[in-house]
Structure 1
Amino acid sequence: MPTGADTPAGTPAGTPAASRFALRGRIVTLDEPGTVLDDGILYVTGQLIEDIRPATAPAPPGFDQVKVVDTGGSVYPGLIELHNHLPYDVLPLWLVPKKYGNRSQWGGSGNPAYHRLVTGPMTALGEDPLLMPAVVRYVEAKALVNGTTTSQGIALFSNAGARRMYRGVIRNVEQTDTPDLPEAASRIADVEAGDAAKFLARLQQPHRLLLHLAEGVDDAARAHFQALQFQPGTWAITDNLVGIHCTALTAADFTTFAAHGGSMVWSPLSNLLLYGQTADIAAAKKAGVLMGLGSDWSVSGSKGLLGELKAARLASTAAGSVFSDRELAAMATRDAARILRWDHALGSLRPGMRADLLVVDGAQGDPYTALIDARDTDIRLVAIDGTARYGTPALMRALAPGATLEPAPGSAQAPLVLNLHDHSADPVVAGLTLAEATDRLTRALDTLPTLPAHPAPPPPALVEGGVRWRLALDEIQPTGAELRPRLPLRTAAGTLSPTGPLIDLATVAPEALEAVVLDGLTASTDTTFLTTLSGETNLPTDYADQLSHLLK
């Protein structure tokens, strides 16, 4: 980073003394009053925003010798995604064959096509010690090139049940490793998943818990919400409960949910692709439910939050223009931070906040509409904790001098580069380039029918104390914790029924798999994604055409 004076008091430990820079552009703070500086300068020291001033104002102390870098664009807080299943983001968009009523109908072992196209390939990747770090590298880079600085939905396990590899370039909601960003949980023990009273006790711990809630549109999906009421008028809902999807909730349900402090993650594209409709967002908004956004996964969702913002606007418009562009932008920034209790550190641009930044080209028109309209080709910079991670060569060289920069694939017309080095990353991921990860995954997915049933033993770098690490996949093998957590259904007799069978790894026959194309990093360069999107039959009339137009 550009050099300046010594590190000031309050700069996080380990921050280089010379880590100061200043960015000029339209500064869209996303603070509560909606402050926008049409021509401003954002000053960063280390990991933190030092100040924000009009371009005509004097620089703050210590920045007299720091060259101002003109972005030529609009500066926003980094995008915070509250729902994804990141390992699956190597897989292409699924041409969904029909509308489903609830998640169990498409995601269980009774769906051979899903098993062949999703579960089987991910089992092969997750069991291979050389492919696992390639998955991590690829999906983190994919988040970056789509403007995302924080995401959710990773899981790695060993026979000791631990995780380690997602300590890389993007923030991880479940593993922050910093006390000012409390970690959220997305896995719950099976005993808690099966008992609403125990689940309520779990919610009273000091963690947000992300729970797949009423995913689907039929009575069976809604019953998973009703299972939260374990005594008349007593609900296992607190402000620590973050409901993912909530597509089956009625207006009365949203009133109950909001009254107990629950918040929600909206994933409109995935909902529409699988179920033909999304949550009753008008009812949720009327009830006062705080909402964030999630792209879910590439199998039935957007490639990242920049795309999901477009899907959300189209869904909002179809529902009667429920949300303004400013409200939608807040869902991916300030409101997402509020849900996580991170709003003192992230989600808006203010002095003292962490310097997670997204810069898109241009500074004209409504600033919130400009963010949602921005294509992935319009991104000029993504920075996390004050470190430039992705952007134009000029901006990256100015903000990360000396960093090893890697060309981003598919950006020949407007070259962009990545800075994927991170001193805290796991060694087996840290030394892996995106190009190498892409090559490994491309070859593996192309040869799935011939992959061995049992991969070779892992190299020593992947083993600690005899523990072998692998991806914990959402439908595969019980691990003592729910990876797509939800309470099971309550039967008429008052007992709880299972949520559906898991996939048995023994049923995954390599010869039954088909070759799969690695999903492209960005929508603008992935004609296969756009073609598949145009053929999706569950989307509302003209929705696919409108979304494709916004993404190209």
Structure 2
Amino acid sequence: MPPGNDGPTTHRFALRGRVVTLDESDTVLDDGVVYVGGRSIDAVLPAGAPAPRGFEDVAPVVTGGTVYPGLIELHNHLPYDVLPLWNVPKRYGNRSQWGGSGNPAYRTLVTGPMRVLGEDPDLMPAVVRYVEAKALVNGTTTTQGIALFSNAGARRMYRGIVRNVEETDDPELPEAASRIADVEAEDAEKFLARLKQSRRLLLHLAEGTDEAAREHFLALRIEEGRWAITENLVGIHCTGLAAEDFQILADHGASMVWSPLSNLLLYGRTADIAAARRAGVLIGLGSDWSVSGSKGLLGELKAARLAADAGEVDLGDRELVAMATRDAARILRWEHAVGSLRPGLRADLLITAGTADDPYTALVQARDTDIQLVVIDGIARYGLRDLVGALVSDGELEEVSGTGADDRVVNLDDAAGDPLVAGLTLAEATDRLTTALADLPALAARPPQPAPLTGALAGGLRWRLALDELAPTGAELRPRLTLSAAGRTHRTGPELGPVTAAVGALTPLRLDGLTASGDSSFGTVLAQEANLPADYGARLARLLT
């Protein structure tokens, strides 16, 4: 949750540059000023217009860049973004084939490392700090949260500096969910009843390209003409859907999240975006996770551009940028608060270098080193030292290394932040994780010895990361409904399988770099990925670095 009244002091400021509003008219001011008062945008005006009331004595900061709404990510498995990109060995047909208990590589690269990190009281907050900073340095202002679980049975979502769609504590920003109770996941009528409540549900749907993947969608059919689908269903991936399936989604008001790089890496194919757009399905973007996806939304925009081109999909850069801003806000029912640059909306901003070229193409092609400033709720959180320093009246600025960009700082001051992470610098988090991942075999072999907790965590309470699908938790990330087809009745997968110890399987890993520009191995692995279309990986690596 952004800090609001408990965070760093906000003040009036103005930013001058090319302004891409993403409003309903797609207004672009070649030389404009965004006036920010506290948490919100007061005005967006041409540079030559008189300053609005209250800003007469505020000198606009000349950025020399282009101002966009902050990027809104609708799908990520954030805790896993410390892990490096997987060189996927073969093409899979559905989620169960690569992520289940029968894949030793999954235990070695994902399950084992995350179990070590997620249950260690020193490493868990380091993961939270690192992955949130990673979102920031890639231009993201809203993403999915990190679930924490306590031994007292309480479950809550991590609330940090980057907006969290699942825990907003803000009536203007209705919370979404990405998990459903087992009973709702396995009973179509109960699932439909859950969808009729007020929350959006961002759930994995038809992950893969074979018939088993599509069955996850077909199981939503309750009876002829009646589906367990409403406007609250936001289907993630949807790679297994046929053209007629997208029409059913659209007819019921549902939307989807597209993660093209992850889809291509795992399945060699992504969702039929042309069919989805013809049907009128509203589409957002998500980078999925670092194991098989982009570093963040700035990279996923490039992955989407190349995927659309490879599939000969008529999709312009303006539409792509809208998927990560205006349309994503509409999916969440947040369009009255974020996603555009308009008076009264929250001051979530992304500024990139330069004002040449088409403004939408410029963002799609921008590298992470082009990011000059990221503002969330009127607070400068990341960017060039001079720009962030000109806007932050309180808080400590920490230098950021390893991004490939010089003179960048991050502002992590947040009095309302989770006590697990308060006071932890990005540098310290990076050091802890680098050391731990390099020493995974030894850490995994340790006998369980709970470390003492102090301060706000005293009194016997212990927290750990609630990681996705390492073991049954009583909540699901996807519908797993009963399907009757071809003379058999079964539940749609994937099956979690038995919990397995990964002690003997673990090997040292490197911490995934914050940005593509600062992580040379990322581009090398990307260019070698076998499931991508011809030259896709090499072209994407060049665009990123």
TM-score per shorter chain, which class? over 0.9
Relative to 1, partners in 2 of residues 1:30 and 1:161: Cα closer, same or farther, differing over 3 Å? farther
Matches within 5 A, 1:133-532: 133-164=125-156, 166-411=158-403, 414-451=406-443, 452-461=446-455, 463=457, 466-482=460-476, 484-488=477-481, 490-492=483-485, 495-497=489-491, 499-502=493-496, 504-505=498-499, 507-532=500-525
2:380–2:388 contact (8 Å) kept in structure 1:
yes
Pair 72,436 (structure 1): closer, same or farther in 2 beyond 3 Å: same
CA drift at 1:467: 3.1
- 8 Å contact from structure 2 (residues 10, 379) kept in 1: no
Report SS of the residue matched to 2:401: coil
- CA RMSD, 1 decimal: 1.7
Cα distance 1:18–1:386, how it changes in 2: closer, same or farther (>3 A)?
Answer: closer
Q: Indicate which of 91, 115, 119 corresponds to 1:123.
A: 115
Measured after TM superposition, the shift of residue 503 of structure 1 is: 5.5
Instruction: Give me the whole-angstrom Cα distance separating, in 2, the residues matched to 1:409 and 1:337.
Output: 31
CA distance in 1, matches of 2:326, 2:490: 37
Measured against aligned partners, the alpha-carbon deviations of 1:111-147 in whole angstroms (never above 9, x if no partner) come to 0011111110000000101111000000000000000
Q: Which amino acid aligns with 1:198?
A: K
Q: Contact (CA 8 Å) 1:133, 1:165: kept in 2 or not?
A: no
Cα deviation digits, residues 499-530 of structure 1 (max 9, x gap) = 2332644x224232111100000001101111
1:145 and 1:283 map into 2 onto residues whose CA distance is 33
**Alignment partners' CA distance in 2, 1:412 and 1:77:** 24
Comparing 443-452 with 313-322, greater Cα deviation is found at 313-322
AA aligned to 1:401 is S
Give the number of aligned pairs.
539
Q: Structure 1's 412 and 284: CA in aligned 2 closer, same or farther, altered over 3 A?
A: closer
> What percentage of aligned pairs have identical amino acids?
68
* CA deviation after TM superposition for structure 1 residue 156, in Å: 1.6
Following superposition, the deviation at residue 430 of structure 1 comes to 1.4
Deviations 1:443-485 (A, max 9, x none): 1111110011424334134746533211111122222111x22
Q: Contact (CA 8 Å) 1:83, 1:153: kept in 2 or not?
A: no
Shift of 1:487: 2.4
How far 1:488 moved relative to its partner? 3.8
TM-score (norm 1): 0.95
SS in 1 for 2:80: helix
Cα contact 2:7–2:416 (8 A) shared by 1: no
Deviation at 1:322, TM superposition (A): 2.3
SS in 2 for 1:285: helix
What TM-score comes out, normalization by structure 2 length? 0.96
Retained in 1: the 8 A contact 2:8–2:394? no
> Is 1:107 matched with 2:99?
yes
Letter matched to residue 411 of structure 2: N
8 A contact 1:185–1:207 mirrored in 2: yes
- C-alpha distance in structure 1 between counterparts of 2:433 and 2:160, whole Å: 19
Change (3 A) 1:161 1:204: farther
Distance 1:309 1:413, change over 3 A: closer
Q: Which amino acid aligns with 2:462?
A: R
Q: Secondary structure at the match of 1:525?
A: coil
Could you tell me how far apart the structure 2 residues matched to 1:26 and 1:117 are?
43
Q: Deviations over 1:226-267 (max 9, x none)?
A: 000011111000000000000000001111111011100000
Counterpart-to-counterpart distance in 1, 2:91 and 2:150? 36
Deviates more, 1:165-174 or 1:537-546: 165-174
> Given that residues 157 and 167 in structure 2 are in contact (C-alpha distance below 8 angstroms), is that contact kept between their aligned partners in structure 1?
no
Aligned partner of 1:5 in structure 2 is none
- Residues 1:58 and 1:124: Cα distance change in structure 2 (over 3 Å): same
CA contact (8 A) 1:80 1:333 kept: yes
Mind listing any 5+ residue stretches in structure 2 that lack a counterpart? Answer: none
Checking the alignment, whether the CA contact within 8 Å between 1:209 and 1:240 is kept in structure 2 is yes
1:539 partnered with 2:540: no
Do the aligned residues in 1 keep the contact of 2:318 with 2:361 (CA within 8 Å)?
Answer: yes
Partners of 2:33 and 2:98 in 1: CA distance: 49
Match of 1:7 in 2: none
What residue is the counterpart of 1:4 in the other structure?
A: none
User: Contact 2:188–2:481 (CA<8 Å) still a contact in 1?
Assistant: no
Letter of the structure 2 residue corresponding to residue 332 of structure 1: A
Tell me the secondary structure at the aligned position of residue 420 of structure 2.
helix
Deviation at residue 415 of structure 1 after TM alignment: 1.6
Name which of 35, 38, 41 aligns with 1:46: 38
Deviation at 1:490, TM superposition (A): 1.3
CA distance in 2, matches of 1:525, 1:242: 33
Task: Identify if the C-alpha distance between structure 1 residues 375 and 18 changes in structure 2 by more than 3 Å, giving closer, same or farther.
Answer: closer
Deviation (angstroms), 1:412: 6.5
Looking at structure 2, the residues matched to 67 and 455 of structure 1 have their Cα atoms a distance apart, in angstroms, of 56
- Post-superposition Cα deviations, 1:155-200, rounded to whole Å, max 9, x if no partner, equal 2212444345621110111011111000001010001100111100
For residue 79 of structure 2, what is the amino acid of its counterpart?
P
Q: How does 1:38-117 map to 2 (within 5 A)?
A: 38-117=30-109
1:280-305 CA distances to partner (integer Å, 9 max, x unpaired)?
01000000000000000000000000
Secondary structure of 2:222's counterpart equals strand
